[in-house]
């Protein structure tokens, strides 16, 4: 069992399993939500997540990609975002991984970690070797998964890499 909390401690949660996946999301929403190049989000089945102290406020945000609602849970006192629920994926919880008391308790491997939205990753972002990197979301549209790239060595995002990624997304949209 692992626990996490907001900055002031008014909210506390626990998870009772290893993460299903670790998402490194480079979309514009996650950049704004974190103030960083990407969000590290650990994914759990909802049954393995418990809010053990406090009642978070919830901000509802409509995803620009899917059009579905993302329910962002945060502390009304200090403003820390702790986790998200998803209309699109109703049985999972996405935890803002930096809110865990031990932020490195889970193993990040090529088997459990994915990078989303290469198409909007900031220039200079380093992508690790051997990890699946998707141009957009893993699920480009309902039931249609994206095809990942896997870089042989650590790769720095450049204008050219982003442009190629955006071109692949456009080609996919034209085909569907």
pLDDT in the model for residue 80:
98
What pLDDT, on the 0 to 100 scale, is given for residue 126? 96
The pLDDT score that the predictor gives to residue 144 is: 44
Cα gap 53→13, rounded to integer Å = 7
Closest CA relative to residue 20, chosen from 94, 117, 87: 94
CB 131 within 8 A of CB 118: no
The reported pLDDT for the residue numbered 146 is 65
What is the distance between the alpha carbons of residues 59 and 32, in angstroms, rounded to a whole number? 14
Identify the structural domains of the chain with CATH numbers, from first to last.
2-99 (2.170.150.70), 113-175 (no CATH)
pLDDT given at position 176: 64
- DSSP letter, residue 60: E
User: 């992508």: which residue's tokens?
Assistant: 127
> pLDDT tens for residues 58-78?
999 998 878 899 999 999 999
Cβ(35)–Cβ(46) under 8 Å? no
pTM of the model: 0.88
Residues of the chain with pLDDT under 50: 143-144
* Residue 100: DSSP 8-state: B
- Which two three-digit tokens encode residue 34? 């974190």
């Amino acid at each position: 069992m692992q626990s996490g909390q907001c900055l002031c401690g008014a909210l506390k949660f626990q998870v009772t399993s290893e993460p299903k996946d670790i998402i490194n999301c480079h979309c514009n929403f996650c950049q704004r939500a974190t103030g960083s190049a990407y969000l590290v989000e650990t994914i759990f089945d909802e049954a393995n997540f418990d809010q053990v102290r406090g009642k978070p406020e919830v901000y509802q945000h409509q995803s620009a990609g899917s059009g579905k609602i993302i329910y962002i849970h945060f502390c009304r006192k200090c403003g820390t975002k702790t986790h998200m629920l998803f209309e699109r994926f109703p049985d999972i919880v996405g935890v803002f991984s930096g809110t865990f008391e031990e932020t490195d308790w889970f193993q990040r491997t090529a088997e459990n970690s994915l990078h989303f939205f290469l198409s909007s990753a900031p220039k200079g972002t380093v992508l690790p070797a051997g990890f699946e990197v998707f141009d957009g979301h893993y699920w480009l549209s309902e039931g249609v998964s994206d095809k990942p790239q896997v870089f042989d060595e650590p790769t720095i995002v450049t204008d050219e890499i982003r442009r190629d990624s955006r071109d692949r997304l456009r080609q996919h949209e034209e085909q569907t």
